[in-house]
Structure 1
Amino acid sequence: MTATTADMSALQPAPHSAWEPRRATTLAAARKRTRFVRLLRMALVGLAAVIILVMAGQILLRSLGAESQEAVTVGEDARMINPRFTGRDEAGTPYVVTADAAIRRRGTEARLTELESPQLDYNLITAYEQAEGVLARTGLFDADARTLDLNADVQFRTQSGYAFAADHARIYLSEERVVGDSPVEGEGPLGTIRADAYEILDGGDRVVFRGNVRTFIRNDAGAGGDQP
């Protein structure tokens, strides 16, 4: 009887192949790697916090700068085009003050408005026809006191038919009164007049002249012409 030898290779474990992963790292190496990842995360969180703080600081600085700029703007005078101011005198008669342009003062003088080529729609005085409603080159309107100061090349007419030219006139809109503290020249139905100061009262029906008053009365009869 012949003995047979069995192939025992099938019962032996298969050798490890080349692509099989290596064994896990040791416990100490794993802990070291965990600490590194934790430090990296903390660094990223800190960097993000720094970026947020920087951005917040920039936003705060910009907001403070905007407030400062706004304060400077508010402190400056405001310029207006074609302003219009309306009101009534003590008798209830309406008036309208207009101009080509205006500068509204700020601060303690906020009630004052500087006017360029001021005009007045009121029954007290009117502008020359050739002036197209302009009473002077510049003016100053006080809304609280209801006064209108006219300066430089002041020219206007009264209801009584007199035309006046002066360097200054203050119109009291609430009193229907005009006061001028500069030399004035006027011409009307009775002749011409010159004085150092003047005042128009009673809604333009009465005019008072003061200082070096010189008048030339027109002789309607034609005898002797104008007489001083």
Structure 2
Amino acid sequence: MLTPSRARVAPSARSMARRHSFVQAVKYLLPGAALLLIALILFWQDIEGKDGRLSFRRSAGVAPAALQVTSPLYQGRDDLNRPYTVTATLAQQADGRLDPGQEVINLTAPRADITLNDGAWILLESRDGVYDRGRNMLDLAGDVTVYHDNGTLFRSDTAHVDLTAGTAQGDRPTAAQGPFGIINSEGFEIQERGAVVVFTGRAHAVLEGTQR
């Protein structure tokens, strides 16, 4: 066996005690330094130094944002198993307390396509809307436009649509035009799934007759 180039000297009790104290101190200092560094990184923007003093600013609490969906598409069927669709540019879950199982959605630029009894269709659109999916109710507001595939078009400010029954109504001034002529009224009702359109309140009509 080779003789070691340097004789090993056993550490003294005092040296062992110093080493033990150093190890214990490092065990606490390192985690503490790491926590301090993390705290500085997180709150550095809230610490303002001026004239050798530190000031702390508490940021306002952040409220969770409501769920948003771009270009949503909702599909369903009425009580006669006829399809309808509801689309929009943006859908956002409504704020506030709701009943269990209730789902109310705020819509931007909503469009509702309803199939009628005879296979015809009605398209409703507006600037804003509220869709109650639990009750299949759609409330439209702002530049409400209703198209019927028979060539009828009328405009109003609001409309309440029952997608299950395939009906719609509004109680604001309405202007309608189509093959029949022009009608201005104080409101409208679409009944019997589009088979009947009633202009409510005081109405003024200019009817167009066909020439022989």
C-alpha contact (below 8 Å) 1:115/1:140 kept by paired residues: yes
Measure, in 1, the Cα distance between the counterparts of 2:67 and 2:14. Answer: 65
CA deviation after TM superposition for structure 1 residue 40, in Å: 3.3
Corresponding residue of 2:155: 165
Measure, in 1, the Cα distance between the counterparts of 2:190 and 2:31. Answer: 72
User: Would you say 1:195 and 2:185 are equivalent positions?
Assistant: yes
CA deviation after TM superposition for structure 1 residue 41, in Å: 0.9
C-alpha contact (below 8 Å) 1:153/1:167 kept by paired residues: yes
User: Would you say 1:120 and 2:109 are equivalent positions?
Assistant: no
CA deviation after TM superposition for structure 1 residue 172, in Å: 0.7
Measure, in 2, the Cα distance between the counterparts of 1:216 and 1:154. Answer: 22
Task: Indicate the SS of the match to 2:165.
Answer: coil
Task: Indicate the SS of the match to 1:47.
Answer: helix
**Greater strand percent: which structure?**
2
Corresponding residue of 2:66: 77
Corresponding residue of 2:58: none
Q: Which has the larger radius of gyration?
A: 1
Measure, in 1, the Cα distance between the counterparts of 2:178 and 2:113. Answer: 22
* Unaligned segments of structure 1, at least 5 residues: 1-20, 25-29, 63-70, 128-133, 223-228
CA deviation after TM superposition for structure 1 residue 204, in Å: 0.8
Measure, in 2, the Cα distance between the counterparts of 1:92 and 1:108. Answer: 32
The one-letter code of the counterpart of 1:78 is L
Measure, in 1, the Cα distance between the counterparts of 2:171 and 2:62. Answer: 37
TM-score of the pair, normalised by structure 1 = 0.64
Corresponding residue of 1:49: 28
User: Would you say 1:214 and 2:193 are equivalent positions?
Assistant: no
The one-letter code of the counterpart of 1:108 is R
Q: Deviations over 1:153-181 (max 9, x none)?
A: 22122355431111111211011110112
Task: Indicate the SS of the match to 2:115.
Answer: coil
Corresponding residue of 2:55: none
Measure, in 1, the Cα distance between the counterparts of 2:96 and 2:14. Answer: 65
C-alpha contact (below 8 Å) 2:114/2:166 kept by paired residues: no
* Unaligned segments of structure 2, at least 5 residues: 1-6, 43-60
The one-letter code of the counterpart of 1:135 is E
**Greater helix percent: which structure?**
1
Q: CA RMSD in A?
A: 3.2
CA deviation after TM superposition for structure 1 residue 101, in Å: 2.4
TM-score of the pair, normalised by structure 2 = 0.68
Corresponding residue of 2:3: none
The one-letter code of the counterpart of 2:106 is E
1:138 aligned to which of 123, 128, 139 = 128
Measure, in 2, the Cα distance between the counterparts of 1:55 and 1:93. Answer: 65
